[in-house]
């Protein structure tokens, strides 16, 4: 694709896609296992979840890992084992989080790429994150982006706020296209401190994305369903999972990630853009098959 790196909004210029890529974000760094026992935190639980979600229609997995104490970790050995195990047991695109937890230092977040995932998240700016701050200053973004280009990791640009979209244009203008040649974004909506999780905000954000980009969207907590329905209506891809919501509907706790993927796949089917296979998603994103 051609990267339009100007700051000019490219209304209606994102790429139309026939199917729907569903990403599952099964764990995250914020949910506590003791409060939500269904949260996958061990490697076995993660692999089981990954297989179930692949069966239900997921094409990509966005991975945060936990240590033996079920707390978030960026331990490189564990990350490498996780990438290996997910590749062995599924054909999902393996995307590692470089966001980690709000307490993780920049050096460890950069080192995530040494686990050689297919893709990684790359958040395009700092954002208030509930009572915390999720730090992504410009020099960190630049270093992380250049490392993805050098190491052949496909970034997904995570956008929590409209200002992050301006920083994405700036990043592409300065360093050129990502590895794989295609720009794919993920709108993370409804975080307290970030952009609202509603249809009007989604449409405004999509209009400001670089020309030719594809995008997915996820709404945190009670914004999950409005964002999912708006994303389907606007031609986007979907991210779901217990990182983003632990309530299925009307206060009923999620029983596992697979039911969130199943619901997304059913809605995508209804929208006549059925769930993509991982290979179809690889072709869309420019992700090489490393199996």
Among 121, 126, 201, 224, binds ligand KMH (CB under 6 A): 121
Smaller CB distance to ligand KMH: residue 116 or 199?
Answer: 116
The residue whose two tokens read 């997910």 is 86
- Return the one option of Zn ion, ligand KMH, none that residue 134 interacts with (CB less than 5 to 8 A, by type): ligand KMH
Smaller CB distance to ligand KMH: residue 138 or 199?
Answer: 138
Q: Is 158 in the site for ligand KMH (CB under 6 A)?
A: yes
Residues 129 and 136: beta-carbon distance below 8 Å? no
Site for Zn ion in 179-238 (CB under 5 A): none
Q: Is 95 in the site for ligand KMH (CB under 6 A)?
A: no
CB of residue 63 to Zn ion, shortest distance in Å: 8
Residues 61 and 94: beta-carbon distance below 8 Å? yes
Kindly report the number of other CB atoms within 10 A of residue 133's CB atom: 12
Q: Is 102 in the site for ligand KMH (CB under 6 A)?
A: yes
**Contact code string over 52-91 relative to ligand KMH, x by CB under 6 A:** ----------------------------------------
DSSP type of residue 131: T
Residues 213 and 184: beta-carbon distance below 8 Å? yes
Ramachandran sector of residue 12 (left: φ over 0; alpha: ψ -120 to 50; beta: rest): left
In the chain the beta strands, taken as DSSP E runs, fall at: 22-24, 60-63, 65-66, 72-73, 93-96, 119-123, 127-129, 132-134, 154-159, 184-189, 214-219, 237-240, 247-249, 252-253
**Contact code string over 30-59 relative to ligand KMH, x by CB under 6 A:** x-----------------------------
Residues 184 and 215: beta-carbon distance below 8 Å? yes
Helix axes 138-151, 162-175, angle to 10 degrees: 50
Among 5, 123, 126, 214, binds ligand KMH (CB under 6 A): 123
Q: Is 97 in the site for Zn ion (CB under 5 A)?
A: yes
Smaller CB distance to ligand KMH: residue 132 or 269?
Answer: 132
Token code pair at residue 41: 């935190």
Smaller CB distance to ligand KMH: residue 65 or 281?
Answer: 65
Q: Which residues of this protein are in contact with ligand KMH, per CB under 6 A?
A: 28-30, 97-99, 101-102, 121, 123, 129, 134, 158
Residues that bind Zn ion (CB under 5 A): 97
């Amino acid at each position: 694709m051609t990267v339009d790196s100007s700051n000019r909004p490219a209304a209606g210029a994102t790429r139309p896609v026939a199917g729907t890529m569903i990403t599952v974000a099964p764990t995250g760094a914020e949910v506590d296992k003791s409060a939500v026992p269904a949260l996958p935190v061990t490697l076995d639980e993660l692999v089981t979840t990954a297989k179930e979600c692949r069966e239900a229609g997921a094409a990509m997995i966005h991975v945060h890992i936990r240590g033996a104490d079920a707390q978030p970790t960026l331990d490189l050995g564990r990350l490498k084992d996780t990438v290996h195990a997910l590749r062995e047991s599924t054909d999902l695109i393996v995307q590692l989080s470089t966001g980690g937890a709000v307490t993780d230092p920049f050096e460890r977040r950069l080192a995530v790429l040494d686990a050689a995932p297919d893709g990684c998240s790359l958040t395009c700016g700092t954002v208030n994150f509930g009572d915390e701050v999720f730090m992504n200053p410009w020099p960190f973004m630049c270093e992380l982006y250049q490392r993805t280009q050098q190491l052949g990791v496909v970034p997904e640009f995570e956008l929590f706020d409209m200002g992050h979209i301006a920083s994405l244009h700036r990043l592409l203008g300065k360093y050129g296209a990502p590895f794989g040649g295609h720009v794919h974004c993920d709108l993370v909506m409804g975080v307290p401190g970030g952009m609202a999780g509603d249809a009007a905000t989604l449409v405004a954000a999509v209009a400001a994305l670089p020309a030719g980009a594809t995008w997915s969207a996820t709404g945190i907590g009670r914004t999950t369903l409005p964002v999912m329905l708006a994303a389907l209506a606007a031609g986007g891809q979907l991210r779901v999972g217990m990182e983003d919501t632990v309530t299925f509907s009307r206060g009923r706790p999620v029983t596992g990630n697979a039911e969130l993927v199943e619901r997304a796949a059913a809605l995508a089917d209804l929208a006549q853009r059925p769930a993509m296979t991982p290979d179809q998603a690889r072709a869309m994103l420019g992700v090489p098959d490393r199996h």
